[in-house]
Amino acid sequence: MKLDKILITRQEAIAPEHVEHGDIIYDKRLVVSKTDNQCTVAFMEISPGRSAYPRHYHFDITEVFYVISGKGRVETPEGERTVSAGDVIVFPPGAAGAHRIWNTSENENLRYIDFDTTAVNDLICYPDSGKIGFDLNGKTALFFRENDAVDYYDGE
């Protein structure tokens, strides 16, 4: 939904989307969606010992996390860094911005705000699994394995 007026809200006013898949367990409260907007904003909350999303990077999107509470670890191409309340983390587009954030606490959720620029069509790379995903106008559409690539004229 396109944001066309000033929005003032609180985290508690937004129903969370709960996601669980293996080590990935988080709640996401979407404030501004990707669709038809220049940025997206979400409150994120990761359960102890878990992460939000596999390690990934975007080709044309910058992501910014502001840690509200808790402590965690961010995996990047340059190694791992500990993060905690008050930290701001900026992930540039491309392989240099590859990241995954983990909650390293045993009993406290890691809470942060995720601010992202957007692109009508977004290409996302998952280096650990060798996948590439396509987001088309804010909706995840397709995933492919890099090793399934074919020649441009294949099948023509």
Q: How many domains does the chain have?
A: 1
Question: pLDDT per residue over 108-132, tens digit each?
Answer: 999 999 999 988 888 999 999 999 9
Give the dihedral sign, CA 149/151/154/156.
Answer: positive
Predicted pLDDT at 69: 97
Question: pLDDT per residue over 62-103, tens digit each?
Answer: 999 999 999 999 999 999 999 999 999 999 999 999 999 999
- φ, ψ for residue 96 (rounded to 5)? -65, -20
Share of the chain above pLDDT 90, in %: 77
Q: Is the residue at 154 inside a domain?
A: no
Q: Is residue 76 exposed (0-12), middle (13-18) or buried (19+ Cβ within 10 Å)?
A: middle
Q: Is the residue at 59 inside a domain?
A: yes
CATH number, residue 42:
2.60.120.10
Predicted pLDDT at 146: 87
Predicted pLDDT at 140: 73
